[in-house]
Chain A
């Protein structure tokens, strides 16, 4: 519970954060940027978990635990994505999305 700040304001912030992530995921041309956008989406949802837990069910901790769980999974996923991107870079010397179309149909 943060004094003077209602749940609506925080949810508005996380929604904005989420849609920035979605926008970035759709429009960025660079794989690293896309990965960062995905992280933004994840972070928005993590904040949502914590906030909703804190404001609506203050006597339980599931939301907090779940957010830690998501952070762990996100770290693993990022490591995997980075390794794929590095491999791709070694193959085609580029991390641009438009250069990775060789496996299309």
Chain B
């Protein structure tokens, strides 16, 4: 199967980015929107064509979906160790292509309405295209270094888009925070890549992921502090993934990233970029699974499980609707990580892997839908805060219904897509780790509760008096909502396990009725609680919150993680470590060099009189020197 045309999928958005970026001032906003949408439409069409070719025309060979790679050597270090550039097509990269292109296209269309009249309209679309390019490149990467390059590129586009309103100090600091935190995590990623290259002699996913390959078979050859070096490399790479995917404790940038325009939050901080970490683990899944009997994979599972619980608890107390959604995103990504972590490899054992990818797909759809709906609401109300909303169902029927569909999906209500993927995750957790299963079920309940707290708070609840009547958003904004709602509603009916599985062979997934019933019951309980608390305006919720006392306050302040970071960086690192080092640098290192310079100036000032500028003085020195030399030579000669 020739896949060279897939290189166009990232290159078209790149061309659009260059076009819009270079002729930023010359292109009229109306046109730049169309250019952006057209470029993404082409990429989306190509993605779907690739998926169709791969799954239905090319199909399985020997019962397994093949990994197809086309690449060129870019940098050659040794005979085996080299950096390639190319495209890699396998079931998960196809799935990611579909996810990224659909969400990105919808966000492009939506942005035409949402950003209308904004000064930086063209700039916004050029950034969106840059992001799409980077994300497609990341998805199609053939080796660790290529993925790292695009990994940083999505980081940059995320930085640019969070800081899009660069006149707002909060947006600027949020952009910096996101960049610094993820960059810090990427340091771990880079070190992991280098260790991996040093000990396995390869960065190619194909070579690394081969269960019979030397990289996996020889994992025990070198160890460091009781663990195989390969495990260390995987853990370091997971730090990078955790940074991008906002896993505890590197999650602090994600809530602040909501300072960016809402379509950006939907595209980058809900659907695509933040799942890059999940994608990375899935990409290296055979390594994670086989090396050291899955030690690194266990860490992934527990970090994911803890993050999902942690974020779900915080989400309950937040009042900014975008922040609730941000924590919800973090919680759901934790779910995916947890699911990957408890997965096996072959056949039905790999249900966790498949469920994670499935949830990634469905979550991208309903979470971007939630964000876009939230954007539509913010567009109408001009506020991010729950207290300024209420009773909006009368004014915004389409947003209301689409938001409800997404909220039901994320709560895992039959037969929406979230139900299917969440059920598979819980099946995987139940089969492998009871503790994580309990966490998963609890989080499912919390998710349903905070989503419906949001839903009732926005669309029902108190009848807020608005300064000017809110109205439904224009068609360019509601159209993506409807498309995504449709996918959210029916997406779960795809037989995902036949296409995406850890061993690429596919298997038949069955609905586990008892587990599904438990999960649904828990979800419905959450919804019912939210109904009681928030459907009508009452003070039950605040009374309930008061009964938790300190715990509520802690949760409301996100467990003071930000403050801990500030304390660690400011008091410990800046004041206790950096300041003395800076003093040493200034007073000792710099002072030595400056002293040498200053002394040279002083001395040269003193002796510059010798350089009188009078030729006669020079001539005198010259003649005197010659006379002395002559006397010396004559003396030596005569003796």
Contacts and interface: CB of A to CB of B under 8 A. Distances in A.
A25 B623 CA distance: 11
Interface residues of B, number: 9
Contacts of A104: 611-613
A34 interface: yes
Interface in A1-34: 22, 25-28, 34
Interface string A34-60: 100000000000000000000000000
Contacts of B608: 105
A96 to B, nearest CB: 12
B613 A25 contact: no
Given A26-B620, A26-B623, 4 more contacts: A103-B613, A104-B612, A104-B613, A105-B611
Contact of A26 (B611, B613, B616): B616
A105 B616 contact: no
Nearest to B616: A26
A97 interface: yes
Nearest to B612: A104
Nearest to B618: A26
Contacts of B616: 25-28, 34, 97
Nearest to B614: A97
A26 B619 contact: yes
Nearest to A102: B613
Interface string B375-406: 00000000000000000000000000000000
A22 B623 contact: yes
B528 to A, nearest CB: 92
A105 B605 CA distance: 11
Contacts of A27: 616
A19 to B, nearest CB: 9
Contacts of B623: 22, 26
Nearest to B608: A105
A101 B613 contact: yes
Listed residue (B612, B616, B620, B623) with the most chain A CB atoms within 10 angstroms of its CB: B616
A92 B614 CA distance: 17
Contacts of A105: 608, 611, 613
Nearest to B611: A105
Contacts of B620: 26
B107 to A, nearest CB: 68
Nearest to B613: A104
A84 to B, nearest CB: 13
A101 B619 contact: no
B78 to A, nearest CB: 58
Nearest to B624: A26
6 closest residue pairs by CB, A with B:
A104-B613, A26-B620, A26-B616, A26-B619, A22-B623, A101-B613
A101 B614 contact: yes
A16 to B, nearest CB: 15
23 contacts: A22-B619, A22-B623, A25-B616, A25-B619, A26-B616, A26-B619, A26-B620, A26-B623, A27-B616, A28-B616, A34-B616, A97-B614, A97-B616, A101-B612, A101-B613, A101-B614, A103-B613, A104-B611, A104-B612, A104-B613, A105-B608, A105-B611, A105-B613
Contacts of B611: 104-105
A103 B614 CA distance: 10
Contacts of A34: 616
A6 B614 CA distance: 40
Interface in A78-105: 97, 101, 103-105
Contacts of B619: 22, 25-26
A9 B619 CA distance: 27
Nearest to B623: A22
Nearest to A98: B614
A28 B613 CA distance: 16
B491 to A, nearest CB: 83
Interface string B194-210: 00000000000000000
Interface in B613-629: 613-614, 616, 619-620, 623
A105 B612 CA distance: 8
A18 B611 CA distance: 26
Contacts of B613: 101, 103-105
A13 to B, nearest CB: 19
A103 B616 CA distance: 15
A28 B611 CA distance: 19
Nearest to A23: B623
Contacts of A22: 619, 623
Contacts of A101: 612-614
A22 B619 CA distance: 8
A22 B620 CA distance: 9
A73 B567 CA distance: 83
Interface in A52-72: none
A56 B620 CA distance: 33
Nearest to B621: A26
A84 B40 CA distance: 77
B436 to A, nearest CB: 80
A36 to B, nearest CB: 14
Most buried by A among B608, B611, B614: B614
Interface string B596-639: 00000000000010011110100110010000000000000000
A28 B620 CA distance: 12
A105 B609 CA distance: 9
